[in-house]
Amino acid sequence: MTSAAASAPPARAYRRLGVEERRAQLLGAALTLFAHRAPDEVSLDEVATVAGVSRPLVYRYFPGGRQQLYEAALRSAAEQLILCFGEPPGGPPTERVTRVLDRYLAFVDEHDTGFSALLRGGSVVETSRTSAIVDEVRRAAAEQILLHLGSGEAAGPRLRMMVRTWIAAVEAASLIWLDEGKQPAAAELRDWLVDQLIVLLAATAATDPETAAAVAALLPLETAAGPAGRLAQLLVPVLGEAAHLLPQDG
């Protein structure tokens, strides 16, 4: 055996992947790049390099080029994001929402730049199809939150509007959080967003009978040690300062 042959690295075993497995590998490589780069800054050559394949192979699976690959990667990311909002039924609703936000913020943290570029728009690869995918995530998230609140498809228009408004606030807060260097800590941001949901529910219930009925059904499920109990303890002193705003007897 020659010295050159002895020093050569062992050949890496090649394993032929199935169509779906290869497609998943390419999407994973694309998502890795889109997570931290704006979509229009990522080239197919880079995707091929990260996946360890040739550029023609990427085109074989995505003949529409970067646009098709981006839309497929976006769809994959959207499916992951929608899963963040699912929770088994049972237990205090605000604690379920807390776990939802933990997963959501972890996703935002992991995909920071890509998440920001996706929601802000303005990318050269943004189309009506990509916008529809993003809107689908928002609607699916709202439906899941309504289920956690015990309403689901039976939710009235005011409650449904309130939840969609909160989803928009969560999205905006996530973008600001990224702009501010992920400050405050994710747990603090999560608690603040849960507090917002509780306050929005209370304010809506004050003038909407359907929401009031939903809140009445939810309250017995909450605990003093949970998010709703913690917020109630914080608000009682604040509300006490507003006693002069109430009608005076006599």
Percent of residues, the chain, with pLDDT higher than 70: 88
Half-sphere exposure of 194 (CA within 13 A, CB side): 27
Side chain identity at residue 13, one-letter code: A
- Pick the closest to residue 203 from 159, 240, 237, 138 (CA basis): 159
3-state class (DSSP) for residue 57: helix
CA–CA separation, 58 and 56 (whole Å): 5
Q: How many residues does the chain have?
A: 250
Residue 197 in this model has a pLDDT that exceeds 70: yes
Alpha helices, H only, 62-154: 66-84, 93-110, 112-120, 128-148
pLDDT score, position 112: 82
State pLDDT tens for residues 141-151: 999 999 999 88
Q: What is the mean pLDDT of residues 147-164?
A: 89
Q: The pTM is what?
A: 0.81
State pLDDT tens for residues 89-139: 889 999 999 999 999 999 999 888 777 766 765 454 556 787 888 889 899
Q: What is the mean pLDDT of residues 21-40?
A: 84
Half-sphere exposure of 144 (CA within 13 A, CB side): 21
Helix then strand count (H, E) for the chain reads: 12, 0
Token pair 């098709």 is at which residue? Answer: 68
More confident residue, 165 or 3: 165
Secondary structure element (H or E) that encloses residue 121, with its range: none
pLDDT bracket for residue 204 (50, 70, 90): very high
